[in-house]
Amino acid sequence: MRGASIQGVLMNARESHHHPRGLTYITGFFSLLCGCLISITVLAQDDVPLSLEDIQIPEARLPSCFGFRDITELRALAICDALNLDQNVKARELSEQWISAEPDSAAAQFGLAEVLLTVEGNMPRALFHLNRAEQLTNYATLEEAVLSGNVQWHYLTLSQLSYVHQLMGDQLRSLEYLEKLKQVYDQDIESFRGWPLIKLKQYDAARASANLVLQNSADPRERARAWNTLCAVDLASLQPIESMNSCDRAIDEDGDPLDQANNNDTVYLSNASEVSLSLLQMDQAEAYLDRATASLNPDSVANPWIYKLYLLMNQGRFDEAREALDRMLIWRESQEAIVNVMNRAEHLLVSASFLLLAGYAEDAIKLTGTALNQPDRNGSYSADDSQKDALAALVSRMANNTEYQIQLENIATMDFMPSLAARFDAASLKLDGWRAGRRAASLFAEFDILQSRLRPYSPLDVHIPEWIEPEIIGLIGTGVMANILEQANDNGAFMLNAGYYYAYHSEIAALENKATQVLDAGALALAQLPAQEVLLRARINAQMATAAWEEDQFAEALAHYEAAFKQDPSILRRLDLSLPVTIVSDDTEFSRQVAGYLANSPRFRQHSNGMKLEVSADPDLSICLKTRTEAILSCYTMATVENQSSKWNAQQLSQQFHSKAFGLGYEISKAQRSMLLGSSVILSSQGDPSVQQTTDAVLTR
């Protein structure tokens, strides 16, 4: 869950002015009075004196610079002009020249800090210059600040220091600077105290602060922030909330969250979606996201397409998920730089999750590595920083282990000598996966974190999809997790649906090789879980299939294998499972060669009661996986490449079949995958008609 959007980062007094880059500054206290008294008499033709009040004069509005209308420094005005014209390089050059010429100028220090922060998203360097500006303007009283001539710069410096410390995770320092603003400028900062207190888990203090705002403020932005704080406080318990009133009123003060006039409140709509998910109201959650995605919002710290993509993956709606991925990238490319570093890891991790399902595990490894090396500045997000790293490490483990399985599938088609080097490379993936798992385990290894994680769609924690969360059990250990599971159940974590409770039990039993318990708990989970939990159901079906096969319940096992494969073809790779099959060929030399590769694959094991795996070389080269009743689960056909050997064709057929059968079947180009690491989707899409159409559709909505 997120705090107030970036438009409300800094204090707003009676009059707020918008910075060219989208930030809102405190300026009402110092704004110029343009309606000055003028002692001028206007004479009409008949010499009858007229008062100035009889003449309609439009209100004069001076252009603002850094949110103020009375800044006179020429260098500052030049920087603001450059920012207004989106001449970011020129703004950076001008601010550096100002620093070089006047290193002891607080205005120059703030100017460069502002460019670094809002244009480049470079928080550490911006903080350095803000600290320097504070040293040069360390005033203790309003009188001292006004007499210095630096009153605007001191005020803006304190405000921005509070915000940057919040984003960088130092909530106590953020609160200290808010208190300085209150002491020196008598500024009402109460509506900005709520979110740092939430991050510090001081929920009672946050509730008291929010209630104080609601009692004393009529400002709609302050009240929205207060309601959002109360919404977060209500969600702090493991038990589901009884009423969404606070969350609804963050969207609409009058309590009508369905009012379409509020569709620009991207943060609050995304939060409402998270709350709806925590109440297992999947359709309502999607409706909120659809409203939030209606138009691009570069200043919003929430990209609603991230949550839409997670939701679509959960439900196995892969075609829609593929489109959502493109639209998420377009939204990301439109974001202001400061926003981009605030939700960077979220983009990387949801993309990695999709690529993992689609069969591009190698690219998922790169994305998770980047997320770990370049974490979010997530002071606007309710989850702890360590939880983001824990999720990145967990997905990295899954991606490394999945790529290991893909390499084993390829090795099954190789001769002995070439396979040796490939096996060595594959072993390094296994080691990297183990390391990532150890890192994830160390970050998850706190009782409160684990107990909260077990609550379905816990809205104050980092978003870990329900189909991924069972992976945590293998990291922490079944004994520990079984104990925490029971305590979480006693504390009301599964009040809305016990299916999630039984899903965890089934996973624990699978890791302990207790087949009967897997089947019993799995059956209860499948009977009670929401129908939308398609990928979680696939995992349960896969575990139940393995357990039933061990119990020689072949018909039941095949039914579960079929269900798992249809719901999530990648699940067999992720769980390192093999399908029992009977390999049937047309008795040609080519087909026998392919059959040998398939028999060596980790995805298949031969059994007389298994599914049918048919290989044919006439008329085209093909492999088909079928049920016992001849229903086709997956087929891949390729034409013979005449200028290549029979062995090469056999290897290609086997490898491509594995790629199509155990992924989503999407062909995602290298250029498109490189976009996920940060390349410009707008520029890159010019060479890709499908992405260009998506770009045009979104930008014209």
Alpha carbon separation from 383 to 282, 310, 618 (Å, rounded) = 21, 17, 57
Q: Where in the chain is the domain with CATH 1.25.40.10?
A: 1-34+59-187
242, 278, 241, 273: which is closest to 257 by C-alpha? 273
CA distance 690 to 535: 27
550, 563, 487, 577: which is closest to 523 by C-alpha? 563
Q: What is the largest CA-CA distance in the chain?
A: 115
Quick one: CA torsion of 607, 609, 613, 614, rounded to 10 degrees?
110
| 367: alpha, beta or left? (left if phi > 0; alpha if psi -120 to 50) | alpha
Show the tokens assigned to 529. 């879980």
Question: Structure pTM?
Answer: 0.84
- Element at 612 (helix H, strand E): strand 611-616
pLDDT at 547: 97
- In this structure, the number of other CB atoms found within 10 A of the CB of residue 406 comes to 22
Positive or negative torsion for Cα 676, 679, 684, 685: positive
Percent of the chain with pLDDT over 90: 58
**pLDDT, tens digit (0-9, with 9 covering 90-100), for 24-75:** 333 334 433 233 322 333 333 445 554 545 555 455 455 688 888 888 899 9
Q: Where in the chain is the domain with CATH 3.30.160.710?
A: 579-661
What is the full DSSP assignment across 412-468? TTS-HHHHHHHHHHHHHHHHHHHHHHHHHHHHH--HHHHHHHHSTT-TTS----TTT
* Architecture of the domain defined by 361-567: Alpha Horseshoe (1.25)
**pLDDT, tens digit (0-9, with 9 covering 90-100), for 544-563:** 999 999 999 999 999 999 99
Name residues of the chain where pLDDT drops below 70: 4-63, 254-257, 259-263, 376, 378-379, 381, 678-701
CATH class as words, domain 579-661: alpha beta
Q: Is 586 helix (H, G, I), strand (E, B) or coil?
A: coil
209, 258, 245, 251: which is closest to 229 by C-alpha? 209
What is the full DSSP assignment across 316-345? T-HHHHHHHHHHHHHHHHHS-HHHHTTSHH
* Architecture of the domain defined by 1-34+59-187: Alpha Horseshoe (1.25)
Residues forming a β-bridge with 615 = 585, 623
Show the tokens assigned to 452. 């909260």
